[in-house]
Amino acid sequence: MAKEITSRSENYSQWYNDLVVKADLAENSAVRGCMVIKPYGYAIWEKMQAELDRMFKETGHVNAYFPLFIPKSFFSKEASHVEGFAKECAVVTHYRLKNDPDGKGVIVDPDAKLEEELIVRPTSETIIWHTYKNWIQSWRDLPILINQWANVVRWEMRTRLFLRTAEFLWQEGHTAHATQAEAIEETFKMVNVYANFAEQFMALPVIKGHKSENERFAGALDTLCIEALMQDGKALQAGTSHFLGQNFAKAFDVQFANKEGKLEHVWATSWGVSTRLMGALIMAHSDDNGLVLPPKLAPFQVVIVPIYKSMEQLAEISAKVDAIIPLLKAKGISVKFDDNDAKKPGWKFAEYELKGVPVRLALGPRDIENGTVEVARRDNLSKEVVQLDGIENYVEALLEKIQQTIFNKALAFREEKTTKADTWEEFKDLLTNKGGFISAHWDGTPETEQKIKEETKATIRCIPLDAVEEEGKCIYSGKPSGRRVLFAVAY
Amino acid sequence: MAKEITSRSENYSQWYNDLVVKADLAENSAVRGCMVIKPYGYAIWEKMQAELDRMFKETGHVNAYFPLFIPKSFFSKEASHVEGFAKECAVVTHYRLKNDPDGKGVIVDPDAKLEEELIVRPTSETIIWHTYKNWIQSWRDLPILINQWANVVRWEMRTRLFLRTAEFLWQEGHTAHATQAEAIEETFKMVNVYANFAEQFMALPVIKGHKSENERFAGALDTLCIEALMQDGKALQAGTSHFLGQNFAKAFDVQFANKEGKLEHVWATSWGVSTRLMGALIMAHSDDNGLVLPPKLAPFQVVIVPIYKSMEQLAEISAKVDAIIPLLKAKGISVKFDDNDAKKPGWKFAEYELKGVPVRLALGPRDIENGTVEVARRDNLSKEVVQLDGIENYVEALLEKIQQTIFNKALAFREEKTTKADTWEEFKDLLTNKGGFISAHWDGTPETEQKIKEETKATIRCIPLDAVEEEGKCIYSGKPSGRRVLFAVAY
């Protein structure tokens, strides 16, 4: 089964597509650019959602739900937002079908034309700030700390499963504050939540930073992001947190009476992560045999495969397994016992390797005799035979170790692939021959960034939060620069 | 605050609308027929989702996600489905906006017209069965037991918050089976899951039954439903489970090789409940003071209000409360301590009554002296003073009692409002003067049902699963009938 996956060295992009499809994560649908998220893929997304939702609530946020549709006119209200956003999107113009008079199926009823077209939300700032106007009168109504889990649509021309799809699932936080300082604090708080989630659950090391002006969200004064490195040396933006200033409050006329009774415009943030995280998770850790999943996000963490010739042997093994499973579950470990007699152990081994199940336990007649079990790790494909007695403690510790090992491996890879460049030649050479993040000086102008992008496809992924103040010269223009920024070719 | 709610006797419909808005559950949005679900309302929906999702998984189902859009042509494939469904829906015709050449905002780009229009899903049978075609080859691929949590859009002309909105949130299960018997078993299994959820969590007694042909889902051979009675004597359909036969498999050409290698069409079910359940929950239990929530679905079950004059007293009370809260939480009880100094206790009492918090604890200086606490029940508005020591056990038992009491009250109401009618005059008299469910004989024809509906607005809510075989005469036509069915005017 695993043989059907293209290897990474042969064609990384094809490897990714093969993996997503063969591991039953997602597939393309009948609708251009829209995907079907299959049960195994959705189970991973549900685990991500559950952890993120918990983290949002622990930081004081509540969930709500706003309409799928946004009146077209709303997009014109915030000038830079319309420039950056409202163009490639799905437009609803009619609200009824009718039978084709020719008897050939259904047609759009021309009499059912909407007075104003509705846009399927590409993001919800406009409809939410229109709503907040009625919710906010006084400083007592602030802050509003709301998150929404929703689907959004952006009519992308070139789509790829999870990474860039016309419809995708995401969460979008939209907060309203009385002061600039509080809104900025929220922006940082949420990028930290995203970074913690990526590192602790996805085992994905990320760099937190500011976006340059070119890469900023349409309507934001500052965009913070987390950037991760994939195995092909390309960067992937995994989450963003925007300080929106008073732009949307002004566009939608949202003012509050402060403690002195004076009217002020409200300060805003928005922040989001999407099913794109699935793409990051897959690309960061997996190998030519299939998925490698961090234990904390695996739909099941342990699979038990019986090795037997007779049904008698299977019965003996099953009895042992029935005793082990409750011990594992009591430790919060999710486990599947695959005693399907229609499939051979070899097929099962390949299948669960492909699916990225972190730990495989194999039990044969000799194990039953010896009181042992074969434990295989998916991350490094190592195997060892251990005592069955106390296996739950062994597996518990092993899952933690695997989680950490996957993270460490990705971190070591990123560190190896992060290089300083001090000249334009060096910069181009690194991009061509090494890839990864390039730490280089930049003169701070959008024009220079644009030229670098045109010549090399590399963009500024972020100005790291922990960037060191350092005198230098822009690798492109030679003009002075106060700190290095991170460049990369990105997804 | 509660005074702003219209009383039920004055205007039931207005009472409902007032309640939904004043209790911060939902409000109308800028988009016709689409609602904003506010955080307090969404928190209840999240609790419903969590329980239902658990029940679906316990019965072997997994979640997945299918596209929001469905190609128009898909609706023509299943003849009765298109008749019943594909008409009033949102149609996407374009995929791009552009700047208005006149400089006035944005317009739809006429060059970006879709070749085939896309319909925003009103339900997903068609896109899902199109997908299943590729997933199903052999009996080994069956059953498929998938559920989806999603938003759907039906362009309703008259909308009401939660009860009937253009966009609503729901879950839709879509299962595929090798045999008719298995599909029918699934249909019954899921209507039972819905009934258990309604009764055990919503404290809402429901009647399980078959829909008559007129009320059946478009494309189904049989529709099972749960029907509940609201306080105004009108019925509300709270969930449906459809046996679809091989209709969709035939429409989308989904066949499997059976164990003998012969091709057969797949058998299907679909089942769903929606945010309409929120409407049912609100209308079934609440009163003129506000919401009454069953403890199992309340966003928080207990609110603690301090009664104090000095900050010293508040400190003393807070110390006690800080000791109680962990005891309550350890029992899985959710609790809020409202020590907001800007609001008076009277305001808080009214506010939490309006919000339907099941139990209120009030603590004053005398309570601190005496080691007591005032416990108020939201459901019957009774109060008593009890010992603070062991309050967690008292509250735990009380919450269970409240859950049961709310259910019993609704059940007694329904029983009182379920009446047999044996003549047409009796039938009409009951509808005018009593309302509720009317158990009556019917000749089994759609024509008679249609005439009854035209003359009285009453429809057959269901043919109860537990209907007794009984010879009788149709109240309208006088023709023979083998069992009574339940009529009511419905939401």
H-helix segments, B226-310: 247-251, 276-285
Report the pLDDT value the prediction gives residue B1, as an integer from 0 to 100.
Answer: 44
The residue among A22, A35, A66 with the most chain B CBs within 10 A of its CB, best to mutate, is A66
Q: Which distant-in-sequence residues (6+ apart) come within 8 Å of A281 by Cβ? A: A44, A202, A204, A293, A294, A297
Cβ contacts of A42 on chain B, cutoff 8 Å = 62-65
Label residue B3 by pLDDT band (50, 70, 90). low
The kind and range of the H/E element at B416 are helix B391-416
Give per-residue pLDDT as tens, B245-285: 999 999 999 999 999 999 999 999 999 999 999 999 999 99
Cβ of A89 within 8 Å of Cβ of B74? The answer is no
SS (H, E, C) A210-228: ECCHHHCCCCCCEEEEEEE
- Cβ-based contacts of B119 with chain A (< 8 Å): 97
CA distance, residue B132 to nearest chain A CA (Å)? 11
Judge whether residue B164 has pLDDT over 70.
Answer: yes
Does residue A89 sit at the B interface (CB-CB below 8 Å)? yes
B25 in Cβ contact with B37 (< 8 Å): yes
Task: Give residues 321 to 360 of A whose Cβ lies within 8 Å of B.
Answer: 342
Residue type, B306: P
Question: Token digits for B472?
Answer: 């009788």
Cα angle A368, A374, A375; round to 5:
140
Structure tokens at B73: 């042509």
Q: Residues B131-150: what's their mean pLDDT?
A: 98
pLDDT in tens, A323-381: 999 999 999 999 999 999 999 999 999 999 999 999 999 999 999 999 999 999 999 99
Interchain pair B34, A153: CB under 8 A: no
ipTM above 0.90, yes or no: yes
B130–A108 C-beta distance less than 8 A: no
B34 touches chain A (CB under 8 A): yes
B302 has a chain A CB within 8 A of its CB: no
- Cβ contact, residue pair A92, B92, below 8 Å: yes
Pick A95's closest partner by Cβ from B34, B108, B155. B155
Confidence of residue B86 (pLDDT cuts 50, 70, 90): low
Query: DSSP letter at B211?
Result: P
Distance, in Å, from the CA atom of B88 to the CA atom of B56, rounded to the nearest integer, reads 30
Strand, coil or helix: B394: helix
Look at residue B478 and give its three-state secondary structure.
Answer: coil
pLDDT at B118 exceeding the cut of 80: yes
In angstroms, what separates the C-alpha of A186 from chain B's closest C-alpha? 19
pLDDT-based confidence at residue A108 (cuts at 50, 70, 90): very high
CB-nearest partner of A30 from B27, B90, B130: B130
Name the closest residue on chain B to residue A92, using Cα atoms: B92
Kindly report the pTM of this predicted structure: 0.96
Phi, psi of B361 (to 5 degrees): -110, 130
**Which residues in chain B have Cβ-Cβ distances shorter than 8 Å to A74?**
30
**Nearest chain A residue to B156, by CA:** A95
> Chains A and B: how many Cβ contacts under 8 Å?
191
SS (H, E, C) chain A: CHHHCCCCCCCHHHHHHHHHHHCCCEEECCCCCCEEECHHHHHHHHHHHHHHHHHHHHCCCEECECCCEEEHHHHHCCHHHHHHHCCCCCEEEECCEEECCCCCCEEECCCCEEEEEEEECCCCHHHHHHHHHHHCCEHHHCCEEEEEEEEEECCCCCCECCCECCEEEEEEEEEEECCHHHHHHHHHHHHHHHHHHHHHCCCCCCEEEECCHHHCCCCCCEEEEEEEECCCCCEEEEEEEEEEECHHHHHCCCEEECCCCCEEECEEEEEEEECHHHHHHHHHHCECCECCCCHHHCCCCEEEEECCCCHHHHHHHHHHHHHHHHHHHHCCCCEEECCCCCCCHHHHHHHHHHCCCCEEEEECHHHHHHCEEEEEECCCCCEEEEECCCHHHHHHHHHHHHHHHHHHHHHHHHHHCEEECCCHHHHHHHHHHCCCEEEEECCCCHHHHHHHHHHHCCEEEEEECCCCEEEEECCCCCCEEEEEEEEECEC
Whether A3 shows a pLDDT value over 90: the answer reads no
Contacts of B155 in chain A (CB under 8 A): 95-96
Could you tell me the sign of the dihedral formed by the alpha carbons of B213, B218, B219, B225, in that order? Answer: negative
Longest dimension (CA), chain A: 83
Q: Convert the pLDDT of each residue in B16-74 to its tens digit.
A: 999 999 999 999 999 999 999 999 999 999 999 999 999 999 999 999 999 999 999 99
> Nearest 5°: phi and psi at B439?
-95, 115
Q: Indicate the SS3 state at residue B435.
A: coil
pLDDT band at A1 (very low <50, low <70, confident <90, very high): very low
Q: Verify whether the Cβ–Cβ distance B120 to A63 is below 8 Å.
A: no
- Return the DSSP state at B266: P
CA distance B419 to B431: 10
Task: Name chain A contacts of B65, Cβ cutoff 8 Å.
Answer: 36-37, 42, 169
Q: Name the residue with tokens 């301590």.
A: B337
- Distance of alpha carbon A469 from alpha carbon B440, whole angstroms: 84
First vs last C-alpha separation in chain A: 28
Are B90 and A75 a contacting pair at CB < 8 A? Answer: no
Instruction: Give alpha helix (H) positions in B23-174.
Output: 39-58, 79-85, 125-135
- Is the Cβ of A50 closer than 8 Å to some Cβ of chain B? no
Which of A162-171, A293-302, B69-78 is predicted with the least confidence, judged by mean pLDDT? B69-78
The tally of CA atoms less than 13 A away on the side-chain side of residue B123 is: 22
Question: Are A275 and A171 within 8 A, CB to CB?
Answer: no
CA dihedral (B366, B372, B374, B380) positive or negative: negative
Q: Report the residue from A76, A108, A155 with minimal CB separation from B93.
A: A108
- The residue of A21, A32, A65, A253 whose CB has the most chain B CBs within 10 angstroms, and thus the best one to mutate to test that interface, is A65
Gap between the Cα atoms of A375 and B437, Å rounded: 62
Name the closest residue on chain A to residue B85, using Cα atoms: A97
Interchain pair A96, B88: CB under 8 A: yes
CB neighbourhood size of A2 (10 A): 17
Q: Which residue in A212, A202, A205 sits closest to A281, CA to CA? A: A202
Find the helix packing angle between A424-433 and A446-456, rounded to 10°: 40
Q: Which of A62, A73, A104 sits opposite B43 (nearest CB)?
A: A62
Whether B78 shows a pLDDT value over 80: the answer reads no
Provide, as residue numbers in chain A, all residues whose Cβ is less than 8 Å from the Cβ of B139: none
A87 pLDDT tier (thresholds 50, 70, 90) = confident
- A158 by Cβ neighbours in 10 Å (0-12 / 13-18 / 19+) ranks as exposed
Taking the Cβ of residue B108 and every Cβ of chain A, the question of whether any pair is shorter than 8 Å is answered with: yes
Rounded mean pLDDT of A467-480? 96
For chain B, the first-to-last Cα distance in angstroms comes to 28
Higher-scoring residue by pLDDT: A181, B100: A181
| A39, A170, A368, A405, B67 from A360: Cα distances, Å | 21, 32, 17, 17, 34
Measured CA to CA, the distance from residue A234 to residue A490 in angstroms comes to: 5
pLDDT attached to residue A80:
73
Q: Which two tokens stand for residue A325?
A: 């499973």
Taking CB atoms and an 8 Å limit, are B105 and A82 in contact across chains?
Answer: yes
Query: What rounded mean pLDDT belongs to chain A?
Result: 96
Q: Which domains does chain A have, with CATH numbers?
A: 2-66+130-285 (3.30.930.10), 302-398 (3.40.50.800), 418-488 (3.30.110.30)
Burial class (CB in 10 A: 0-12, 13-18, 19+), B332: exposed
Judged against a pLDDT cut of 50, whether residue B89 lies above it is answered with yes
Residues from chain A that touch B42, judged by Cβ atoms under 8 A, are 62-65
Interface of B with A in 137-156 (CB under 8 A): 140, 146, 150-151, 153, 155
From the candidates B31, B63, B107, which should be mutated to test the interface with A, based on the most A CB atoms within 10 A? B31
Query: What's the pLDDT at B52?
Result: 98
CB contact under 8 A, A96 and B87: yes
3-state SS, residue B280? helix
CA of B104: which chain A residue's CA is closest? Answer: A76
Do A96 and B89 lie within an 8 Å CB cutoff?
yes
pLDDT tens digit sequence for A406-435: 999 999 999 999 999 999 999 999 999 999
**pLDDT tens by residue, A42-78:** 999 999 999 999 999 999 999 999 999 999 999 888 7
